[in-house]
Structure 1
Amino acid sequence: EPLYHLYASEAWAIDKNYLDQSKQLEEYLRLNPNDPERVVEAKAGLEMLKALGTTDVAVVTAPENPVPIRVRKALNLIFTQLTLNGRGPYNFAVDTGATQTVISEKLVAELGLQPIASTVVYGIGGSGKVDTRLYGVKEIAVGDVKIKNIPVGTFNDPLVSQLADGILGTAALSDFIITVNYPANQLELSRKRQPAPATTEVLPAWYFSNLLLVPVSVNGKQGNFIVDTGAVTTVLSHNMAAQLGINQNTPGAKIDLGIAGVGGFEGIVLKVPNVTFKTAKNTETFPQVVAIDLKQISKMIGSEVAGVVGYDFFSEYKLSLDYYGAEVRLSK
């Protein structure tokens, strides 16, 4: 089954075993799957891994207990400052919903970086999917944490460029349990997996392509949602909206609005009134949310994505991501 090898490559990626990731991608392509988009993405991933060679990739060095990293909240996004190759500081959005760390083309020119491969990035730019060149950065430093030999993509979206010099995909820090502490304006990193306090909710998470998805109930309808600190607002998929009785033919449902990620989404946007999101221990109610087309990201993941949980949901929580433990924690 070709998809088995594609999903196995993702498992090796989170373990940073790039040799076995390459083998699984090669096996996936050898089976000649009838899926043109995934084939393109697999070839891009394999090209990237071959370009990086045998050098250790995204090697993290840090103290046992890194100092919390200050973040700034603005425009329903969170930002922090970091350095690249010893230069900076530069302003980066912290984005759990980006499949790749990316930097502006202006910054590429400033740092004199040379392309090493091509790749496909999700979560950046108007369409949610961007074909981009990949560049090798010798070191990214955020606080007292350093990530060496990290591949980054690029963007030239004018809206994103106005907001930040780049976007830090948190999967680059997956060696740690990552806590986005919204009330304290901090990004906290820990190597220790502590037992969850009774007041903390632990959600099982599904990992694919550097994204974490968690189960959420929407007006009684269950679905899997992407955990996305780079989403300015929580959104539903068109399919989930349809389950709630809203579709393109619903009078007054269509609105003219670019929305959702750091770079937004294009396409038909619907408004859905009176929506309550529930997990086992937490509830957030909104007088209105929007619904967008998430078919492409659902196809990439191989399962229906019911929506994206963003800033307006998380803004009062401590949000902890454990990539290796496959769980997300919420506490107030």
Structure 2
Amino acid sequence: MKAFKDKQPNQIDWNGKSETVIPFITTEPLPVVPVEINGKRINAVIDTGGPMFTIDQKLAKELGIKTASKNENEFAGGNTVETGFGQADSLTIGDVNIKNVPVMLGPFDGFEEGLKDYDVHGIIGTGVLKEFVPTMDYLSGQLILRPRNEVGRENLNKMLADDKILEEMPFTLAAIHFMYGKGSANQKSGLNYFIDSGLGDEKGAGIILPKETIDSLKIPMPELNKAPEGQGGMGGSDYKEGHFDISSYGLGNLQLKNGIGYYFTGGVLDYDEEVGFVSDGLISHHYFNKYKWSIDFDSRKMTFSK
């Protein structure tokens, strides 16, 4: 509010278009797309675990994005990092121009190892995606954005009419960006999964489980080793990690067989006052990268197709 005063946030100009398609620069280890922020072209990852558009705090200073307020946030490994909040004058994604954009500012040193080849300085979080009717098409390597209105939903339905629908399921949007859906693991159903597409893993793990869920599924606790330097995003790599085999997991009835799971110490998968319930696990990139994943934030429905 300090940054915006009387300005209306997220003023979207479609430039006469009803849809825009942005090819991924890469799909692995995470989907990366080009954007422009305050007129500067940068690369950004798509991350539904992020609250809004997040920019490297070093670059923000260069672009004249001022910190209006600060907060402490918990990231991977349970590490607390001070982040800033402010306003960017403009953000361009494909053919769409957005003015007066809320942004979070944070350290990007933890992205250097996994994404060092792609010069990533931004994160497209759920706060951006929910301004649209988006599809993350991992199979074709592209992000599709449509207006969040009847036209956008009609365009989505036209695409889905030509697709093979694999699963449609509801989700909950808690606080400003916590997407949760129901799923299963090793035939145990009714689990609450945090839907966080921004956590990649070099061994291909698409699910993260806390110790309580691992124990309830009777999965042996994996051997833990220190996380490699340069891993862990804004939270850094000061934690231990391990991998385990899991016979099946997924959202709704869309289950992956014979997968790999991931555990790390100091995790944030527990009761969270912001969402008001327990997180049984987290579904991430190596689950989503097998599908076209569309989200309707009005009906709170996700559709997975091919």
Q: TM-score, normalised by structure 2?
A: 0.80
Name the structure 2 match of 1:30. none
**Identity score, percent:** 22
Establish whether residue 151 from structure 1 lines up as the match of residue 102 from structure 2: yes
CA distance in 2, matches of 1:285, 1:261: 26
Name the structure 1 match of 2:34. 81
Establish whether residue 92 from structure 1 lines up as the match of residue 59 from structure 2: no
Q: Counting helix residues as a fraction of each chain, which structure ranks higher?
A: 1
Letter of the 1:221 counterpart: K
Distance 1:160 1:69, change over 3 A: same
Measured after TM superposition, the shift of residue 309 of structure 1 is: 1.4
- Whether contact under 8 Å (2:24, 2:141) holds in the other structure is yes
Distance 1:175 1:109, change over 3 A: closer
Establish whether residue 310 from structure 1 lines up as the match of residue 277 from structure 2: no
Measured after TM superposition, the shift of residue 56 of structure 1 is: 0.6
CA distance in 1, matches of 2:180, 2:5: 31
CA distance in 1, matches of 2:300, 2:257: 26
Establish whether residue 199 from structure 1 lines up as the match of residue 165 from structure 2: yes
Q: Counting strand residues as a fraction of each chain, which structure ranks higher?
A: 2
Other structure's SS at 2:6 match: coil
Measured after TM superposition, the shift of residue 177 of structure 1 is: 1.1
Letter of the 1:318 counterpart: K
Paired residues, number:
279
- Whether contact under 8 Å (2:91, 2:97) holds in the other structure is yes
In the alignment, structure 2 segments of 5+ residues that lack a partner are none
Name the structure 2 match of 1:109. 61
Letter of the 1:68 counterpart: V
Letter of the 2:43 counterpart: N
Measured after TM superposition, the shift of residue 132 of structure 1 is: 1.2
Letter of the 1:193 counterpart: R
- Whether contact under 8 Å (1:231, 1:260) holds in the other structure is no
Other structure's SS at 2:272 match: helix
- Whether contact under 8 Å (1:231, 1:308) holds in the other structure is no
CA distance in 1, matches of 2:5, 2:270: 30
Q: What RMSD, in angstroms, separates the aligned Cα atoms of the two structures?
A: 2.7
Other structure's SS at 1:52 match: coil
Measured after TM superposition, the shift of residue 200 of structure 1 is: 4.0
Distance 1:210 1:260, change over 3 A: farther
Measured after TM superposition, the shift of residue 287 of structure 1 is: 4.2
In the alignment, structure 1 segments of 5+ residues that lack a partner are 1-48
Name the structure 1 match of 2:192. 224
Establish whether residue 186 from structure 1 lines up as the match of residue 160 from structure 2: no
Other structure's SS at 1:73 match: coil
Name the structure 2 match of 1:176. 132
Name the structure 1 match of 2:177. 210
Whose relative contact order is higher, 1 or 2, with alpha carbons under 8 Å and at least 6 apart? 2
- Whether contact under 8 Å (1:255, 1:271) holds in the other structure is no
Equivalent position to 2:224, from 244, 247, 254: 254
Measured after TM superposition, the shift of residue 55 of structure 1 is: 1.6
CA distance in 1, matches of 2:269, 2:73: 16
Name the structure 2 match of 1:19. none
Measured after TM superposition, the shift of residue 53 of structure 1 is: 2.2
Distance 1:50 1:110, change over 3 A: closer
- Whether contact under 8 Å (1:272, 1:288) holds in the other structure is yes
CA distance in 1, matches of 2:231, 2:254: 22
Letter of the 1:212 counterpart: M
Distance 1:318 1:149, change over 3 A: same
Establish whether residue 294 from structure 1 lines up as the match of residue 264 from structure 2: no
Measured after TM superposition, the shift of residue 306 of structure 1 is: 1.7
Measured after TM superposition, the shift of residue 156 of structure 1 is: 1.8
Letter of the 2:142 counterpart: Q
Measured after TM superposition, the shift of residue 183 of structure 1 is: 0.9
Q: TM-score, normalised by structure 1?
A: 0.74
